Amino acid sequence: MSRDLKTVRSLTQTAFSRAFRGLFVLFLLIAIAACSAPPADHPPGEPWDPYENTNRGFHSFNKGLDRAIVRPVAYTYSGIVGDEVEDSISRFSNNISMPRAIVNNVLQGNMKGATEDTYRFVVNSTIGLFGLFDVATDLNMPAATDADFGETLAVWGVREGAYVELPVFGPSTERDTVGMVVDLFLNPLDYWIRDPEEYYVFGTDVSATLTSRQRLGRTIDGVLYDSADSYAQARSLYLQNRRFEVGDSASGVYLDPYEDPNLILE
């Protein structure tokens, strides 16, 4: 009886995981196809931003959220919790996301990155006490790749798509939004961390976010509250930095200003 039950359970699990995988692939294909391309006459160097009106709406929502909640909470939190503790929590949160980067490196065919990240993860999880200490960096091991699925899609040749600003999550592109959703399922650790532990992990992610909001305070405040058009500035910064991370040189950094007819002095 109990053996039958086991068989039934394992059969349902197989069927379920197959269906899930099918759905997942289908979602991915639809999402990739949905990454839009700018029309042929779109000026090069200009961001492809067909949803600008909606994006600007979300941008002011995000700014309000930062002003009312994230910024004050981040400063209060950092005022109460000591720097050492904050750093440890951020390192833990970072370390526990490493397996996802390893999976993405493998998907990108970057075996060197996958190996280096694996060494880093093993060292920090053991000698570094579950990632509370970053021993790997102290040992001068190669820097973490921080590979994510948006980058994997870029390596696979999926186009960037339009710029989007998401509520709460902020600047992104169509491709990176798909990447972000897929990344939710790509960390093998998530399949074995059950509650209540997974809430603790989520808690450390929140802590890490608050810490970086406070540490980068001056820079972020400058973009959000001091620039003439914070939406345009955030869009420009996000796209430049993201293209740098995924190794795409489309951002116009490499256009020669000395050859630009608009900039030549008479």
Partner 1 sequence: MMFDAFNSSRRGFLGGVIGLGVVGLTPTKGWSLDEARSRALVDRVVNEINRVIASGKSEAAMIRDFERIFGRYADVSIIARSALGADSRRASNAQLRSFTQAFQGYVARKYGKQFRDFIGSQIEVQGVRRVKTWHEVDATVRLSGRAPFKVAFLVSDRSGRDLFFDLLIEGVSMRLSERTEIGSMLDANNGDIDRLISAVQRAG
Nearer to partner 1, 14 or 219 (CB): 219
Nearer to partner 1, 196 or 247 (CB): 247
Tally of CA atoms within 13 A in the half-sphere of 128 that contains its CB: 25
Distance CA 173, CA 159 (A): 10
- Least distance between partner 1 and beta carbon 13 (Å): 40
Stretch that binds partner 1, among 54-62, 66-74, 182-190, 258-266 (CB under 8 A): 258-266
Q: How many residues would you count in the chain?
A: 266
**Contact code string over 98-137 relative to partner 1, x by CB under 8 A:** ----------------------------------------
Position among 14, 169, 243, 250 found at the interface with partner 1 (CB under 8 A): 243
39 is a contact residue toward partner 1 (CB under 8 A): no
Q: 61-96: b or e for each residue (b if 16 or more CB lie within 10 Å)? A: ebbeebeeebbeebeebbeeeeeeebbbbbbbbbbb
Stretch that binds partner 1, among 72-80, 98-106, 154-162, 250-258 (CB under 8 A): 250-258
Stretch that binds partner 1, among 10-18, 116-124, 192-200, 235-243 (CB under 8 A): 235-243
Q: Does residue 196 have a cis peptide bond before it, meaning omega lies within 30 degrees of 0?
A: yes
Residue at token pair 């999976």? 103
**Contact code string over 194-233 relative to partner 1, x by CB under 8 A:** ---------------------x--xx--x---xxxx--xx
**Contact code string over 78-97 relative to partner 1, x by CB under 8 A:** -----x---x----------
Distance CA 181, CA 12 (A): 26
In sequence order, the 6+-apart residues with CB closer than 8 A to the CB of 10 are none
Neighbours of 126 (CB within 10 A): 11
Radius of gyration of the chain (CA): 22
Residues near partner 1, by CB under 8 A: 83, 87, 143-144, 215, 218-219, 222, 226-229, 232-233, 235-237, 240-241, 243-245, 251-254, 256-260, 262-263, 265
